[in-house]
Copies of this chain bind each other. A is one copy, B any other.
Amino acid sequence: MEPGGKAARFSSGWAAKALPQRLMLLLLTLLSGRGLHVVAAASSSGAAAEDSSAMEELATEKEAEESHRQDSVSLLTFILLLTLTILTIWLFKHRRVRFLHETGLAMIYGLIVGVILRYGTPATSGHDKSLSCTQEDRAFSTLLVNVSGKFFEYTLKGEISPGKINSVEQNDMLRKVTFDPEVFFNILLPPIIFHAGYSLKKRHFFRNLGSILAYAFLGTAVSCFIIGNLMYGVVKLMKMVGQLSDKFYYTDCLFFGAIISATDPVTVLAIFNELHADVDLYALLFGESVLNDAVAIVLSSSIVAYQPAGLNTHTFDAAAFFKSVGIFLGIFSGSFTMGAVTGVVTALVTKFTKLHCFPLLETALFFLMSWSTFLLAEACGFTGVVAVLFCGITQAHYTYNNLSVESRSRTKQLFEVLHFLAENFIFSYMGLALFTFQKHVFSPIFIIGAFVAIFLGRAAHIYPLSFFLNLGRRHKIGWNFQQMMMFSGLRGAMAFALAIRDTASYARQMMFTTTLLIVFFTVWIIGGGTTPMLSWLNIRIGVDPDQDPPPNNDSFQVLQGDGPDSAGGNRTKQESAWLFRLWYSFDHNYLKPILTHSGPPLTTTLPAWCGLLAHCLTSPQVYDASNLGRVKYVPRESSPEIWELRALGENQEPLREEDSDFILTEGDLTLTYGDSTVTANGSSGSHTASTSLEGGRKTKSSSEEVLEQDLGVGDQKISSRGTRLVFPLEDNA
């Protein structure tokens, strides 16, 4: 028999009989970079198939079939886990159990299955087809192997430490359930992050934007450095007591600080949502966690990029430090721009085509454009995940308004399902990884140190920043809010994804193990403790953000917390808000009219010389309203840079527009509760009409309603500054 016979046999048997098996292989290749050892040699010629022994073929086919079956079983394991999680979540929601969140549950199921896989499956020796060929000088990414005249192509999979050569295939099942870490970054994180941006409660987010940015940027940086330095101390201690068996540099510690600074209070926020806890606290926590994920990603890659010029790569070098800072700023702003630009392009496309007549096309376009953000950012060397976040925010702010009603719910629901599946998959995987991951390094000192460090890091992040923010904030972040934010420093999917990306070195393995344990304990303990904590801290629950706040202004009291100078708010407001005011008027007067169908016509806000352009860019719908003579846009008296809609005729009231999510006028900062919330299943829009108390006068309107009102449709009357406005309230019920 020819020496090359078996290989040829394998390929041909493969092509011939194992049709269904081949289907599976690729799917698994997709998900498991490590799981697949038998790769089909699909290019064997049919002619070579004739001379072979049936026995060998059978054996090879059996092997391929076996491998294929294991692949299917490993994927089925995860589907089973997710299905179980879904059913149990339902039971929990049904019984109103709040001490364990779905993500915590997914981890528990993952842990159980991990134990079973680890101790319940036999350690198969594996069909070791390995072969050494030792005459090479260096490793190439592609290898051509000449086997008696036939050429086979091999690709480099990775280096194997010499000690592990014999255990490479020790337990196939454990290998199969261990996915390629990049899957988390490329497949699972983007929908989670996009959904976070897309489902942002815009009003409350923008109202607290300054604080959120401070917490996310400064806070994360502070937390990263505090944790990094504390951990360096711990590492020094470990060296002294001889607990450290390999190198652990200062940059490693900083890297650990960066990855562990990505908070993910998904559990807390789910409970906030369910209990309708305070919306501002929600906005602070949610906004911070969304943005600090982005900061943590970019921070960690900047730390990795910190490369001093000399040979000693682990001392401080000012040039390299500033280079890292530059990289941080470059990557962050680049990713931000990329995301915003694709969002804007999508908004323009949806505005200027009548795509909204075909919701399927619209949804598909929306999905493709959002995905292309990720690819574009990656193609330009930026961070796709960060770009996707800002794309989500832009899409929600502009594009969403141009979509048809059906597409709005379709896109929300599509990303909601993707987000749900991805998130629970990651958490199941975390549970599984504790037992199936084969390179754990458990170091008790490091773990205890890390717990202490993240506690101190979180404290150094929240309390000083809150103090400084309160100096400038009109509505102080109360002591109880600070405590709650301190408490909500859970670590989740992002920390895990960052930790698992590189587990090659001893230090990284120790970090990975520690991160996993931190995620477990914060999710379980903090998740379970949220409800008691809320009541212990006296944080208002049961607030329906779509309703008026109670007339006695207790919400105001709570939000003010212990802050003493709530009366002097007007003084600080102007200073803190000028930048934001600038942005708002720009957005309101130019961006919204250009990108959506709302806002004042550009013909009124742009200078006269660009009249034609302004006319082309303004949506006809805006003209329709203006031309009917019912409403007109005029500069607001209090802040003339903002053009606002007014009804003509006897009542010259400024009218709130449907999309005015973050109008900043006096007195409405705390008392505006008109935005909609993301409900437990997240499927809400920001398009319920606003109801707000503005400095004592009650206005409930939108531009459409005003039109209806003037046409005599409305029938309910609300007293308002001496005049009577008649609005149809059915739409708002």
Contacts and interface: CB of A to CB of B under 8 A. Distances in A.
Contact of A43 (B15, B30, B83, B158): B158
A38 interface: yes
Given A131-B136, A133-B143, 8 more contacts: A23-B384, A24-B378, A30-B186, A38-B141, A46-B504, A132-B145, A143-B154, A152-B157
A183 interface: yes
Interface in A151-205: 151-162, 165, 168, 180-183, 185-187
Q: How many copies does the complex hold?
A: 2
A7 interface: yes
B133 A151 contact: no
A628 interface: no
A149 B139 CA distance: 11
A153 B143 contact: no
Interface string A17-58: 101111111110110010011111111111101100000000
Contact of A143 (B131, B159, B187, B376): B131
20 contacts: A3-B138, A7-B138, A15-B304, A16-B305, A23-B378, A37-B141, A44-B159, A76-B375, A79-B371, A83-B369, A90-B353, A91-B353, A94-B354, A128-B142, A129-B140, A133-B145, A134-B146, A151-B159, A358-B681, A410-B417
Contacts of A246: 47
Contacts of A33: 26, 29
A678 B259 CA distance: 49
Interface in A354-396: 354-355, 357-361, 363-365, 367-369, 371-372, 375-379, 381-385
Interface in A615-649: none
A27 B187 contact: yes
Closest 6 CB pairs of A and B: A72-B379, A7-B139, A26-B182, A154-B154, A46-B505, A129-B140
Interface string A50-75: 10000000000000010011001101
Given A20-B378, A22-B182, A417-B410, A157 B155 contact: yes
A89 interface: yes
A129 B141 contact: yes
A454 to B, nearest CB: 23
Interface string A72-95: 110110011011001101110110
A502 B49 CA distance: 14
A349 interface: yes
Interface string A227-269: 0000000000000000000110100100000000000000000
A40 B159 CA distance: 9
A520 B413 CA distance: 35
Given A46-B507, A131-B136, A90 B358 contact: yes
Interface string A417-458: 100110000000000000000000000000000000000000
A477 interface: no
Contacts of A421: 364, 367-368
Most chain B beta-carbon contacts within 10 A, residue among A29, A30, A135, A359: A30
Contacts of A585: none
A474 to B, nearest CB: 37
A473 B363 CA distance: 43
Nearest to A19: B301
A137 interface: yes
B147 A139 contact: yes
Contacts of A11: 158-159, 504
Contact of A379 (B73, B90, B159, B162): B73
A334 B674 CA distance: 56
A125 interface: no
A139 B93 contact: no
B359 A681 contact: yes
A40 B144 CA distance: 18
Contacts of A355: 86-87, 90
